[in-house]
Chain A
Amino acid sequence: MSDPDRLDHYVSTDPFAPQDDQVLTPAQERLYAASQWTMMWWRFRRHRLAVVSGIVLLLMYAGILVAEFLAPYDLHSRNVDFIHAPPQQVRLFHEGRFVGPFVYGLDYRLDMTNLKREYTPDPDKVQPIRFFCRGDRYRMWGLIPGDLHLICAADGGTLFLLGTDRLGRDMLSRLIHGARVSLTVGLLGIAISFLLGITLGGISGYFGGWVDNLIQRIIEIMRSLPELPLWMALSAAVPINWDPVAVYFCITVILGLLDWPGLARAVRSKLLALKEEDYCAAAEMMGATPARVIGHHLLPNFMSHLIASLTLSIPTMILGETALSFLGLGLRPPVTSWGVLLSEAQNIEAVVLYPWLMTPVFAVIVTVLAFNFLGDGLRDAADPYHQR
């Protein structure tokens, strides 16, 4: 019989396992075994906007690979009967009946009082849009001949989803073709700035002394100069009669040439801290050259940061190219970029009468925003060990 005054003695039947709290759950194990890049990816994935932006950018860059196929018309094909035609609206129903995507053909009339071209959609002309169709002939990247397009106008009809310009060229097609130049200018420029930034920043941070001092003074001077006027001056120096491709490369070099100081600074400050580490001294004692120590042992430490900050400076270059071409100092027709397209919308007249000439600006805004969001996400993900 138990004593009513005494409490029962409790005995746990669970097996005795003092190391229990040190056994990892599968989730923890996954986390601890993950490489740095995997952890970055996990962190990046949480930033929804950055992921969406990344996908948008991927699609855009995939698009410029096959720009000729995506664009309904060729870059230079002119429709002399449709000059400054407004955008045609895509419809699905004609008189209450479903016909699939189509546009109404345009009726043209010249207003004799103010000599303005007036286009009205004609509900009698139903022009169904064709898909995967034969249209203007092209040479993909100037090499592979073809005439297949994703969408084209009905036979004998027109398809100007974003209107036409002053020569009757389809704006949508020009926008798609222009993306090829506008989107790559930033990448090439950034590559140049990356190379310069890492080399000069690396030398500056690793060797120190008078080299460091000199490079730092140069950086200070370059950072205190207004970018755009210098870009203008440099691109005005590109001879007008050069080959368009050469001009294009010159512009990318110019854009990259002024961008490296910020990057060089970041590289230097990281190197200054890291070169005191033991593994760096060990590598040096084993006879590694400075280039190998910097490139192989030190750079990987902050590569992710560099990539993030690079992503954030691509938009500056895209905007820079747009501004230069807009002013007529950058790329010139027949090369087509968004800036070149926008230079046609240069006056108030265009804003009032032909607002669709300004559509490339939306492409610019979307791209720049996407790069900014992506860069933000990458920057947050760049340091996965940092708890927030």
Chain B
Amino acid sequence: MYVYLMRRLFTMLVSLLAISGLIFLIIQLPPGDFVTAYVTELESQGEMVSPEKIAFLRQQYGLDKSPLEQYADWIVGILQGDFGYSFEYNLPVTEVVGDRVLLSIVVNAATILFIYAVSFPLGVYAATHQYTLSDYGLSFLGFLGLATPNFLLALVLLYLANRWFGTSIGGLMDPQYLNRPWSVDKVLSVLEHLWVPVVVIGTAGTAGMIRRLRANLLDELNQAYVVTAKAKGMAPRRLLVKYPLRMALNPFIADIGNLLPQVVSGAVIVSAVMSLPTTGPVLLSALQSQDVYLAGSFLLLLAVLTVVGMFVSDLLLAALDPRIRLVSGGRR
């Protein structure tokens, strides 16, 4: 177990390093840099910008260095807790990011919990009631959930939430808590608003999860050992819980590796539509205005969130299933 842990930790660090390089590369892709965009904006407002000032700005932001040096600066800074400087907000990135990362984690974690909580009973039900009306109904709902773009679901649910429950449109908390420090009321307000994005982001994942759990469980239910236990006269419920369900649960948990990137992806677009105070909207605007360090930091944080989440799930799986450790690497 210890060896497995160390090896897994090492691969995680290596992939994080590779990811940071990849992200830096992508961020640098657009022609020009923030200063070019800034200068164009100033000139469109009729201001003259002298070449000296441009050079000064470049130097100040460290944009005159080679890409490699910029990358090194960025990474070293991050290791020291300095994520760079947001040109657009004129603030250090850490201050812009602030609560947003925390709220992102809250939303994503709540979504994962939601997906498991909903898909588990439904998946088991669909598998034990194969080819009944409710099984077909669930399959149909599942397909529909997979096919609906979640940003539109977000719009419609927002409208309904406001109409039926009077929850204020958009955001993750009532407006009066926006710039307040965290308190019990604020947490309650967040919880009250959380369900809409969680449901919206979780739909596609839940639909997929139900289908996979159903398929896994059906495979197990047709095994000879189930027939034997049935023939022995074991009570159906006890039989289900004691053997096939346990077997079917493994891939269910291992699937978090597919689920997590999907949820993080969904959260970005849904929060942009619903203007949640999470990372999504800021990432979008940072990408559009070439705010390199801000966008890069957000991308990196999202990636770290996923990679660490997968690391944790791999450890959980290894703890649950001793066979996993024999296979190097883990997933699948």
The answer to whether A and B assemble together is yes
Say whether A125 faces chain B, with CB atoms less than 8 Å apart.
Answer: no
Name A223's contact: one of B26, B148, B261, B287 (CB within 8 Å): B261
What DSSP secondary structure best describes chain A's contact surface? helix
Say whether A365 faces chain B, with CB atoms less than 8 Å apart.
Answer: yes
- Top 10 A-B residue pairs of the complex, sorted by shortest distance between their CB atoms: A228-B265, A237-B29, A368-B147, A236-B287, A226-B264, A226-B261, A226-B265, A237-B30, A365-B147, A369-B147
Q: How many Å lie between the Cα of A217 and that of B265 in the bound state?
A: 22
- Whether B264 pairs with A329 at a CB distance below 8 angstroms is no
Contacting residues, chain B, for A342 (C-beta < 8 A): 149, 152
With contacts A364-B147, A365-B147 taken as known, whether A233 is within 8 angstroms of B159 at the C-beta atoms is: no
Q: Which residue of B lies closest to A343 (CB)?
A: B151
Contacting residues, chain B, for A229 (C-beta < 8 A): 264-265, 268, 283, 298-299, 302
A334: shortest Cβ distance to chain B, in Å?
A: 20
Contacting residues, chain B, for A348 (C-beta < 8 A): 155, 158-159, 162, 169
Q: How many Å lie between the Cα of A226 and that of B15 in the bound state?
A: 14
Q: Which residue of B lies closest to A323 (CB)?
A: B269
8 extra interface residue pairs, beta carbon distance < 8 Å, beyond A226-B268, A342-B152, A358-B152: A220-B331, A225-B306, A226-B264, A228-B269, A229-B283, A237-B26, A329-B284, A365-B148
Say whether A129 faces chain B, with CB atoms less than 8 Å apart.
Answer: no
B192: shortest Cβ distance to chain A, in Å?
A: 19
- Whether A225 pairs with B19 at a CB distance below 8 angstroms is yes
With contacts A226-B265, A232-B284 taken as known, whether A221 is within 8 angstroms of B158 at the C-beta atoms is: no
Q: Which residue of A lies closest to B269 (CB)?
A: A323
Interface string of B238-274 (1 = CB under 8 A from A): 0000000000000000000100111011101100110
- Whether A221 pairs with B15 at a CB distance below 8 angstroms is yes
With contacts A228-B265, A228-B269, A237-B30 taken as known, whether A364 is within 8 angstroms of B149 at the C-beta atoms is: yes
Contacting residues, chain B, for A233 (C-beta < 8 A): 23, 26-27, 287, 295, 299
Say whether A327 faces chain B, with CB atoms less than 8 Å apart.
Answer: yes
B302: shortest Cβ distance to chain A, in Å?
A: 6
Say whether A345 faces chain B, with CB atoms less than 8 Å apart.
Answer: yes
- Whether A224 pairs with B147 at a CB distance below 8 angstroms is no
- Whether B19 pairs with A221 at a CB distance below 8 angstroms is yes
Q: Which residue of A lies closest to B156 (CB)?
A: A351
Contacting residues, chain B, for A361 (C-beta < 8 A): 148-149, 152
Contacting residues, chain A, for B30 (C-beta < 8 A): 236-237, 239
* Residue from the set B148, B151, B159, B331 with the largest chain A CB neighbour count within 10 Å: B151
Say whether B105 faces chain A, with CB atoms less than 8 Å apart.
Answer: no
- Whether B287 pairs with A372 at a CB distance below 8 angstroms is no
- Whether A224 pairs with B151 at a CB distance below 8 angstroms is no
Q: Which residue of B lies closest to A369 (CB)?
A: B147
With contacts A322-B149, A326-B149, A364-B149 taken as known, whether A227 is within 8 angstroms of B265 at the C-beta atoms is: yes
Name B146's contact: one of A327, A328, A368 (CB within 8 Å): A368
Say whether B31 faces chain A, with CB atoms less than 8 Å apart.
Answer: yes
Interface string of B22-50 (1 = CB under 8 A from A): 11001101110000000000000000000
Within 8 A of A (CB), among B274-332: 283-284, 287-288, 290, 295, 298-299, 302-303, 306-307, 310, 329, 331
Selected A-B contacts with CB under 8 Å, 5 pairs:
A226-B268, A230-B299, A234-B26, A348-B155, A364-B149
Say whether A315 faces chain B, with CB atoms less than 8 Å apart.
Answer: yes
What DSSP secondary structure best describes chain B's contact surface? helix
Q: How many Å lie between the Cα of A221 and that of B162 in the bound state?
A: 40
Q: How many Å lie between the Cα of A248 and that of B264 in the bound state?
A: 26
Number of CB contacts from chain A to chain B under 8 A: 124
Contacting residues, chain B, for A347 (C-beta < 8 A): 155
Within 8 A of B (CB), among A300-326: 315, 319, 322-323, 326
Contacting residues, chain B, for A226 (C-beta < 8 A): 260-262, 264-265, 268, 302-303, 306
Q: How many Å lie between the Cα of A232 and that of B26 in the bound state?
A: 10
A156: shortest Cβ distance to chain B, in Å?
A: 36
Say whether A62 faces chain B, with CB atoms less than 8 Å apart.
Answer: no
Q: How many Å lie between the Cα of A345 and that of B151 in the bound state?
A: 11
Contacting residues, chain B, for A319 (C-beta < 8 A): 149
Q: How many Å lie between the Cα of A236 and that of B302 in the bound state?
A: 17
With contacts A346-B273, A351-B159 taken as known, whether A315 is within 8 angstroms of B147 at the C-beta atoms is: yes
Q: How many Å lie between the Cα of A372 and that of B155 in the bound state?
A: 24
- Whether A327 pairs with B269 at a CB distance below 8 angstroms is yes
* Residue from the set A217, A221, A347 with the largest chain B CB neighbour count within 10 Å: A221
Say whether B191 faces chain A, with CB atoms less than 8 Å apart.
Answer: no
- Whether A220 pairs with B283 at a CB distance below 8 angstroms is no
Contacting residues, chain B, for A220 (C-beta < 8 A): 11, 15, 329, 331
Say whether A7 faces chain B, with CB atoms less than 8 Å apart.
Answer: no
Contacting residues, chain A, for B155 (C-beta < 8 A): 345-348, 351
Contacting residues, chain B, for A328 (C-beta < 8 A): 288
Say whether B143 faces chain A, with CB atoms less than 8 Å apart.
Answer: yes
Say whether B76 faces chain A, with CB atoms less than 8 Å apart.
Answer: no
Q: How many Å lie between the Cα of A221 and that of B265 in the bound state?
A: 16
Contacting residues, chain B, for A365 (C-beta < 8 A): 144, 147-148
Q: How many Å lie between the Cα of A373 and that of B211 in the bound state?
A: 13
Contacting residues, chain B, for A358 (C-beta < 8 A): 152
Name B307's contact: one of A224, A236, A323, A373 (CB within 8 Å): A224
Q: How many Å lie between the Cα of A361 and that of B29 in the bound state?
A: 32
